[in-house]
Structure 1
Amino acid sequence: MPRHRFTPETPLSTAYDDDLAVVTPRDESGTALSSVAAAWLQADMLERVRLEPGMTVFEAGSGGYNAELMAGVIAPTGRVITVDLDPYVIHRTRRLTGLMHERLTVDLDRPHSTGVESVIHTSSNQKAVSTPRRRCRHPVPG
């Protein structure tokens, strides 16, 4: 999955730098509001959650790239449900993923947790999302 598709506002060298999180929007004061996590962190989360084909995965804190990576692993029958509290992030994720396949559901603050086998929490706002850890086979802190 080409990472630069999810960071179109940055140079390729930044998009593919393993150590950098790529900030997507900032507020008027310059504070980062969302980002595509550093590649090493995404790889670490995906490795720890031990995804398998056919799984259903819930991701809180969407950016698109991580959801696409997960969708590729759980193919051909699994499903990724990715949500975010910010309408801008959801719109951006839908635009950048192009909703290319039925394995990926992008939604605004409505986690459909029935049947979820793994949760990846990628939001930095711990008060914004409550992760149902006791229901998950492989919870991963984010």
Structure 2
Amino acid sequence: MDPVSMILAFALKNPQATADLTNEYREPGHIDAQQLRSSVADFAMQTLACYHKSARFRGVDILGAPWRQHVKYGANGSVVLRINFTGVSGTPYQMIVAAMAKDQAYRTFVIQENAVIPYNKNCALEYWTESGG
């Protein structure tokens, strides 16, 4: 049985479990604000954990700086990152993210991603988040 059919069969047999999973998905992953300042890799791992809490981090590439639109968000500086990760099934994905900084705060903007399950728009990094340091 293909994965989509398995998921559909599970959802039809277990409507309460499906509702619980949907509610859990809406809750973003937690971030460790102090890790945002450690390194680009740590920032990328925290970002991924916030947007896709079940994903596994595989690497990050700096694509360029600054992101031209960071001024719209009141940022002092920015960098565009490609975060490589795998999903629950082990399939590789990537997301292109603008990481912005203003004083001791950070935020992100997802420019593009190719994951089957869309990123969680409730991530705390969708708004300015103090780094705690």
TM range (shorter): under 0.3
Query: Which protein has the larger Cα radius of gyration, Structure 1 or Structure 2?
Result: 2
TM-score (norm 1): 0.23
- Higher relative helix content: 2
Structure ranking higher in strand proportion: 2
What TM-score, normalized by structure 2, do the two folds share? 0.24
